[in-house]
């Protein structure tokens, strides 16, 4: 296929539409409010070599790291992937992010009669994957969803842990489905290690349905347009994104740009956790070096390499400012150095639950702080810099009278992230009360939350005046108060409670966030990262940070 920009645009949208449709199936078929309402999931399409060709506009922290999960599945099952197989995994040290994020990877095969080109150069994967009679591999589809519980020491599987084994069930790459048949033993093993097996069964089934839909659509594309044309389109889409990324980098002034920011603490010790980056721009390529960042921590703020790579992908993709395909071509001009054993490339058995949600946000802040020196007209002040993770779990429909439990009891686990202020931009105020950067979820609607859980929302409003002042103000955060109706346990993984989001060009920082437990007339401060037992009637009050301001406000 000769280069034709119009035809390439059509293929770009055809691939993206498959990922979008996978996401729609996953959302509609899921059980948990976290997936159905908050849409904490992602879907993507890959070529036969595991390069990401397209992704839907889902969760940035998932999509930049998912190629490593697909790679792990391919490498683990070299020579043993068959039509109808589906691989499941969540191991953060094998392409995952943190344990609640479960990934499903499906190879997609087609009868050879539909494949126009039989050149070995086009079917590279056939050297590493068994070829079934009259079947050839044409690509992969993958989905990733955050499950509200995968076991571990606290409900919701987001604890302030000291090792990954306390965070939940670790799933290496294994075949959940073999040649179209469910491996019931593996499924039952997973369900036996979670607090909410019925919900997990439903959400896993939704992921299976999403992958099946994606595989069907990808096969339809190849059948309709031909194998040679599809592989040519994949190659051209990857090359186009690489060219656009190189053009962006070449437009930046050559030099080395450094920045350091820090997490409040790791939840175990109260010392700040610095993250340092040096971004070197040379011609049409960039080196992103995190040497000098803190060593991996005792607490669960450690990020695995996939998270750091995902944050780098996200930042440079945002700078493109064009409707460029979201694929692996963006990473080709980038060299990412993350020293092993540091907070940005942790080694097992480090706990990592917060690395995905909190450290990823700080990595973005650090990268933007460095690039603000190279292209200040493109970079906003710091956004809230946290996902304000709240997990609550216990028994629902449980009454206690005279010290004795009565009524039907069933476990529940609830997980949510809470939005905040975005940083002001060089030419406008920052938006308020939004999820930003590495998360792209919605809030849980109050009606859905109160229907599904023994919780009541008492307050949900914009935190006025929390954005940083400046020529342009940072966006304001959120105040969200939940009253618990049963005995339960809450775990918080939040940040920017000590060090505020920075302003730029003389703008003031945004306000830090606060966590409170209100019991009767007493207000008790809660740490940014920690666990607490709650009683019926207790109120959990979360005030999220505002974004930094931009520029000096004229008097």
Q: What is the pLDDT of residues 10-21, one digit of tens each?
A: 999 999 999 999
| CA-wise closest residue to 297 among 205, 416, 163, 429 | 163
> Sign of the CA dihedral 349, 357, 480, 264?
positive
Q: What is the DSSP letter of 413?
A: E
**How many residues would you count in the chain?**
555
Strands 41-46 and 52-55: antiparallel
* Per-residue pLDDT, 424: 98
- 92: phi then psi, degrees, rounded to nearest 5: -60, -25
pTM for this predicted structure: 0.93
* Per-residue pLDDT, 117: 47
Residue position matching structure tokens 């005030």:
543
* Per-residue pLDDT, 218: 97
Return the H-helix or E-strand segment holding 214: helix 197-225
Q: Is the peptide bond before 105 cis (omega within 30 degrees of 0)?
A: no
First to last CA, the chain: 60
| CA-wise closest residue to 315 among 340, 279, 273, 352 | 279
Cα–Cα distance for residue pair 371/374, rounded to 1 Å: 5
* Per-residue pLDDT, 123: 38
Helix (H, G, I), strand (E, B) or coil at 15: helix
**CA dist 128 to 28, 79, 141, 222, Å?**
35, 5, 18, 21
Cα–Cα distance for residue pair 343/359, rounded to 1 Å: 8
Q: How many CB atoms lie within 10 A of CB 247?
A: 13
- 156: phi then psi, degrees, rounded to nearest 5: 95, -10
Residue position matching structure tokens 């150095």:
337
* Per-residue pLDDT, 409: 75
| CA-wise closest residue to 528 among 309, 308, 299 | 299
Helix (H, G, I), strand (E, B) or coil at 88: strand
* Per-residue pLDDT, 440: 83
Cα–Cα distance for residue pair 403/393, rounded to 1 Å: 20
* Per-residue pLDDT, 400: 44
Structure tokens at 154: 């606290």
* Per-residue pLDDT, 65: 84
What is the pLDDT tens value at each position of the chain, 555 positions in all? 677 889 999 999 999 999 999 999 999 999 999 999 999 999 999 999 999 999 987 777 776 789 999 999 999 998 899 999 999 999 999 989 999 999 999 999 998 766 654 343 343 343 333 444 468 999 999 999 999 999 999 999 999 999 999 999 999 999 999 999 999 999 999 999 999 999 999 999 999 999 999 999 999 999 999 999 999 999 999 999 999 999 999 999 999 999 999 999 999 999 999 999 999 999 999 999 999 999 999 999 999 999 999 999 999 999 997 788 889 999 999 999 999 999 999 999 999 999 999 999 999 999 999 999 999 999 999 999 999 999 999 987 544 444 444 556 789 999 999 999 999 999 999 999 999 999 888 888 999 999 999 999 999 999 999 999 999 999 999 999 999 999 999 999 999 999 999 999 999 999 999 999 999 999 999 999 999 999 999 999 999 999 999 999 876
């Amino acid at each position: 296929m000769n280069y034709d920009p119009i035809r390439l645009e059509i293929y770009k949208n055809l691939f993206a539409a498959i990922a979008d449709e996978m996401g729609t199936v996953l959302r509609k078929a899921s059980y948990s409010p976290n997936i159905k309402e908050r849409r904490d999931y992602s879907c993507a399409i890959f070529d036969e070599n595991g390069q990401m060709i397209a992704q839907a506009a889902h969760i940035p922290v998932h999509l930049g790291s998912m190629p490593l999960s697909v790679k792990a599945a391919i490498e683990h099952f070299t020579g043993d992937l068959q039509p109808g197989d589906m691989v499941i995994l969540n191991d953060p040290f094998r392409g995952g992010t943190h344990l609640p994020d479960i990934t499903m990877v499906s190879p997609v095969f087609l009868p050879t009669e539909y494949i126009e080109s039989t050149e070995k150069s086009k079917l590279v994967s056939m050297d590493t994957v068994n070829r079934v009679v009259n079947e050839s591999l044409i690509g992969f589809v993958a989905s990733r969803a955050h499950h509200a519980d995968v076991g571990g020491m606290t409900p919701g599987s987001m604890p302030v842990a000291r090792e990954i084994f306390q965070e939940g069930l670790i799933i290496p790459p294994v075949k959940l489905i073999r040649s179209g048949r469910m491996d019931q033993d593996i499924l039952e093993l997973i369900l036996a290690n979670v607090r909410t097996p019925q919900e997990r069964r439903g959400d896993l089934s939704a992921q299976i349905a999403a992958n099946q839909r994606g595989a069907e659509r990808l096969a339809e594309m190849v059948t309709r347009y031909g194998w040679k044309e599809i592989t040519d389109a994949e190659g051209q889409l990857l090359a186009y994104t690489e060219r656009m990324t190189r053009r962006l980098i070449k437009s930046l002034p050559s030099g080395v740009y450094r920045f350091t920011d820090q997490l409040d603490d790791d939840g175990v010790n109260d010392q700040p956790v610095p993250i340092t980056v040096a971004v070197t721009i040379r011609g049409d390529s960039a080196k992103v070096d995190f040497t000098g960042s803190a060593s991996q921590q005792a607490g669960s703020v450690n990020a695995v390499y996939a998270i750091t790579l995902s944050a780098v992908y996200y930042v440079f993709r945002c700078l493109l400012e064009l409707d460029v395909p979201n694929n692996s071509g963006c990473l080709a001009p980038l060299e990412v150095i993350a020293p092993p054993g540091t907070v940005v490339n942790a080694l097992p058995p480090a706990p990592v639950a917060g690395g995905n949600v909190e450290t990823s946000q700080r990595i973005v802040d650090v990268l933007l702080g460095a690039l603000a020196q190279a292209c200040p007209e493109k970079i906003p002040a710091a956004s809230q810099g946290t996902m304000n993770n709240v997990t609550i779990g216990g028994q629902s429909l449980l009454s206690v009278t005279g010290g004795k439990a009565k009524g039907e009891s069933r476990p529940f686990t609830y997980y949510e992230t809470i939005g905040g202020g975005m940083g002001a931009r060089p030419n406008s105020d920052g938006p308020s009360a939004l999820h930003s950067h590495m998360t792209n979820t919605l809030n849980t609607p109050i009606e859905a939350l109160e229907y599904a859980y023994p919780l009541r929302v008492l307050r949900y409003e914009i935190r006025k005046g929390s954005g940083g002042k400046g020529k342009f103000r940072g966006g304001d955060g959120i105040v969200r108060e939940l009253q618990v109706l049963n005995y339960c346990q809450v775990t918080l993984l939040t940040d920017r409670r000590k060090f505020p989001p920075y302003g730029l060009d003389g703008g003031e920082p945004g306000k830090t966030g606060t966590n409170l437990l209100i019991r009767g007339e007493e207000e008790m401060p809660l740490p940014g990262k920690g666990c607490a037992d709650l009683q019926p009637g207790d109120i959990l009050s979360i005030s999220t940070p505002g974004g930094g301001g931009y520029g000096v406000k004229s008097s």
